[in-house]
Amino acid sequence: MNGLIYRNLKMYFNDKSGIFFSLMGAMISFVLYLAFLSQNMISSWSKVPDTKLLLDPWLIGGTLTITAITTTLSSLSLMVKDRESKVLADLNLTDISYLGIQFSYLITSVIIGVIMQLIMYFVMSIYFMIVDNSTFNLSILPQIVGISVLSSFTWTLFNLLLLSFVKKVDTLGKISTIIGTASGFFAGVYMPIGTLPTTMQRLMKFTPAPYNAAMYRSALMNSQLNKSFKDSPALTLSEFKKIMGININLHGTLTFQQDIMILIVFMAIIGMCIFLISGISRRLVTSKV
Residue 267 and residue 154 in contact, taking contact as beta carbons nearer than 8 Å: yes
The number of beta carbons lying within 10 Å of the beta carbon of residue 68 is 35
Alpha-carbon dihedral sign for residues 128, 151, 257, 45: positive
Tell which residue, 178, 180, 5, 177, has the closest CA to residue 79. 5
CB 150 within 8 A of CB 260: yes
Q: Please count the other Cβ atoms lying within 10 Å of the Cβ belonging to residue 162.
A: 16
The domain limits of the chain are 2-285
- Contact call for residues 256 and 215 (beta carbons, < 8 A): yes
Per-residue pLDDT of the chain (289 residues; tens, 9 = 90+): 778 888 889 888 988 888 888 888 888 888 888 887 777 787 777 788 888 888 999 999 999 999 999 999 999 988 888 888 877 777 767 777 777 788 888 999 999 999 999 999 999 999 999 988 888 888 999 999 999 999 999 999 999 999 888 878 888 888 888 898 899 899 999 889 988 999 999 999 999 999 999 999 999 999 899 888 888 888 888 989 999 999 998 888 899 999 999 999 999 999 999 888 876 766 665 554 4
Give 121-148 as a DSSP string: HHHHHHHHHHHH-----GGGHHHHHHHH
Return d(Cα 70, Cα 262) in angstroms, integer: 20
Which residue type does 3 have?
Answer: G
Distance CA 5, CA 166 (A): 21
Predicted local distance difference test score (pLDDT) of residue 114: 96
In this structure, is the dihedral angle defined by the CA atoms of residues 138, 142, 143 and 147, taken in order, positive or negative? positive
Degrees to nearest 5, angle at CA 23 with 19 and 28 = 145
pLDDT at position 289 is: 43
- Say what the pLDDT of residue 42 is: 79
CB contact at 8 A, 63 and 120: yes
Looking at residue 72, its pLDDT comes to: 95
Write the Ramachandran bin of 251: left for phi over 0, alpha for psi from -120 to 50, otherwise beta. left
CA atoms of 152 and 67, how far apart (whole Å): 9
